[in-house]
Amino acid sequence: MLEITQLIRKRVSCRTYADKPVEEKVLQEFTRLVADEHTGPFGNKPKFQLINIDMSSPEEWKKLGTYGVIKNARLFLVGSIKKGDKAIEDYGYCMEVLILQATALGLGTCWLAGTFNAAGFAKAINLQENELLPTISPVGYPADRKSFTEKIFRGFAGSNYRKPWTDIFFEGNFATPLTQAQAGKYSDILENVRLAPSASNKQPWRILHNKNDSTFHFYLERAFGYKLREIPIQDIDMGIAMSHFELTAREVGIAGKWRINGKAPPVSSLDYVVSWEESD
């Protein structure tokens, strides 16, 4: 199996799928992973299901459609979570783990928050009144060639662009960028955060390193209009960034824990979310 860093750098959003089903052995393994219990860093427990769409039934496709942005997908990963504090961050964290596990199995995926029939998928998973359905993802083998629609979406979202380190990582205060050299053993960890997917590729996370110890404070720079169906979409992005940080830290042998640190410096333009502290 590929290492986390390899999976993060291999995985890209896929909107065009090969017109063939997932091999039975691969499907069974991914189904097992999806059915496992999932718990995020803040203790919320999202649930996930795999939904098969009958490609021969236009009526079913209409009920569980993706508004033309996804081609040939017949299998979808659908998640739900009970409403609660930091629930959406936990959802993003746990779903990204599954996304990377799908990548390890040779499967393509694509985070979808708005371009799908939310009511149809909610009915398919029997969504409860106290639950939210933040996102879905098609799952399948990537096609050899991208569709014209996919090329348009990737260009519109700026999928191939990532902000430089100087825009998102800081040392001591938000006027001092953190360089890769200064990051030292955290360089690969932060680079994998930089490569994390986000809505419209906004990369809204801002990470402040406390130069006096190995503590990293995570902030969110919110953009207007990123809320759908009660769901603050950029909180999902933060969960994804947190997963990349923690999974890579484990891979390189650095232990740590998440905690809400009231001492994090207040910054009016940013929302403080959480801190990660290295453990002995």
Most distant CA pair in the chain, distance: 61
Residue 152 pLDDT: 52
| Mean pLDDT across the chain | 90
Residues 6+ apart with CB under 8 A from 120: 63, 64, 65
Confidence class of residue 212 from pLDDT cuts 50, 70 and 90? Answer: confident
34 and 105 in a single domain? The answer is: yes
What's the domain range around 118?
A: 4-152
129 and 170 in a single domain? The answer is: no
Residue that finishes a domain, picked among 92, 122, 152: 152
106 and 205 in a single domain? The answer is: no
Q: How many degrees, rounded to 5, is the angle at CA 230 between CA 226 and CA 232?
A: 35
33 and 66 in a single domain? The answer is: yes
Indicate whether 118 belongs to any domain: yes
Give the Cα separation of 196 and 198 in Å (integer). Answer: 7
86 and 205 in a single domain? The answer is: no
Indicate the number of domains in the chain.
2
12 and 92 in a single domain? The answer is: yes
Share of residues in the chain with pLDDT > 70 (%): 89
Confidence class of residue 229 from pLDDT cuts 50, 70 and 90? Answer: confident
Q: Which of 119, 77, 73 is nearest to 95 (CA)?
A: 77
Residue 59 pLDDT: 66
Taking the CB of residue 225, how many other CB atoms lie within 10 A of it?
Answer: 8
101 and 29 in a single domain? The answer is: yes
Give the Cα separation of 45 and 48 in Å (integer). Answer: 10
Indicate whether 219 belongs to any domain: yes
CATH code (residue 228): 3.40.109.30
144 and 12 in a single domain? The answer is: yes
105 and 180 in a single domain? The answer is: no
Share of residues in the chain with pLDDT > 90 (%): 72
95 and 174 in a single domain? The answer is: no
Taking the CB of residue 171, how many other CB atoms lie within 10 A of it?
Answer: 16
> Does this model's pTM top 0.75?
yes
H-helix or E-strand containing 219?
A: strand 215-220
Indicate whether 93 belongs to any domain: yes
